[in-house]
Amino acid sequence: MSRLLEGFVEAFQLIIALDPALLQIVFLSLRVSILAIIISTLLGVPLGTLLGLKPERKTRFVNKIIFTFMGMPPVVAGLVIYLFLSRQGPLGVLGLLYTPTAMIIAQVFLSFPIVTGLTMVGIRAKGSEVEEIARSLGAGSALAAWTVVRELRIAILGAIITGFSRVVAEVGAVMIVGGNIAGHTRVMTTAIVLETRRGNFELAIGLGIVLLMLSFIVNSVLYNIQRGGE
C-alpha cells in the first residue's frame, strides 16, 4: 500500500515540478492525438454527413465497412501502417517509420472510421429533415450541408469525443509505428507500458492518472462547446 502511495506521490511530484521529460511526453501525446483527431474530423465529418444524408439502403455496404473498421484492433492497425511505412514497404522511401507523423497516421486510421460512422448515425436521425428545411429556405447544397452539421453539432461532437478517447488511450498502434523512442516518439500510453515492463507499477499508475486528467480537460472543453450548442 505504501508503495502505491509512493508512486502517486512520485507522479504528482513530477507533474507539479513540471518535469521536462514528463512534459515532453504529455505534449507529444496531446500533439499526436489532437492532430489525428483534427484530420479525422476534417475527413470524417464531411464524409459522415454525406453518407448520413443518403438513404440508408444506398449506403448499406459502406456502413458495414465503416462499422467493421470502427472495431479494428489497434495492434492490427499499427502493423498495417508499419508494413506500409517500413523501408521495405510501399511508402518506405518517405522514412516515416518511428516518427510522430507515423503515429498520427496510425491514429487517423483508427479514429477516422469512428468519427465518420458516428457522424453518419447522428446525421441520419434528423439530417434529411434539416437539409430539406434549409433547401426550402433557399440554401444551396453547401449551405444546406453546413446547416445540417451545425444543427447536429452535438451528435458530431460526440463522435469527435469518442474518436479522441480512442486514440489518446491507444497504445498498440503507436508502440509499433512510433517505437516508444525516448524524447522522440514516447507518449503517455507507451511510457505506461514501459514502466509496467520495468516493474515501476506505481509510476505507471501515476502516468495513467495524468493521462486521465488530460482527457478530462480536453473533454471538458469539448463538452462546454457541446453544451453551448444546445
Among residues 151 and 170, whose Cβ is nearest to other proteins?
A: 151
Question: Which of 41, 59 has the CB closer to other proteins?
Answer: 41
Burial of 137 from C-beta contacts in 10 A (0-12 / 13-18 / 19+): exposed
Phi then psi for 225, rounded to 5 degrees? -60, -45
> Which is nearer to other proteins, 66 or 85 (by Cβ)?
85
Yes or no: say if 181 and 164 are a contact pair by the CB < 8 Å rule: no
CB of 59 to other proteins, least distance (A): 20
Minimum gap (Å) between residue 195 Cβ and other proteins: 7
Complete DSSP assignment for 207-219: HHHHHHHHHHHHH
CB 107 within 8 A of CB 116: no
Nearer to other proteins, 66 or 124 (CB): 124
CB of 89 to other proteins, least distance (A): 8
Helices (H), the chain: 2-16, 20-53, 60-70, 74-85, 100-136, 141-151, 153-168, 172-178, 188-197, 201-228
The grid cell for 97 is 517509420
Q: Which CB atom, from 116 or from 180, has the smaller least distance to other proteins?
A: 180
Q: In this structure, are residues 48 and 120 in contact, taking their beta carbons and an 8 Å threshold?
A: yes
As measured in angstroms, the least distance from the Cβ of 70 to other proteins is 25
Q: How far is the CB of 68 from other proteins (least distance, A)?
A: 26
**Shortest reach from residue 65's CB to other proteins, in Å:** 29
Specify the residue, 68 or 224, whose C-beta has the smaller distance to other proteins: 224
Cα(146)–Cα(134) distance, integer angstroms: 10
Instruction: Report the interface residues with other proteins, using CB under 8 A.
Output: 3, 14, 19-22, 24-25, 27-28, 30-31, 34-35, 38, 86-88, 92-93, 95, 97-98, 129-130, 132-140, 143, 147, 150-151, 179-185, 191, 194-201, 203, 218, 221-222, 224-225, 228-230
Crossing angle (nearest 10°) for helices 20-53 and 141-151: 120
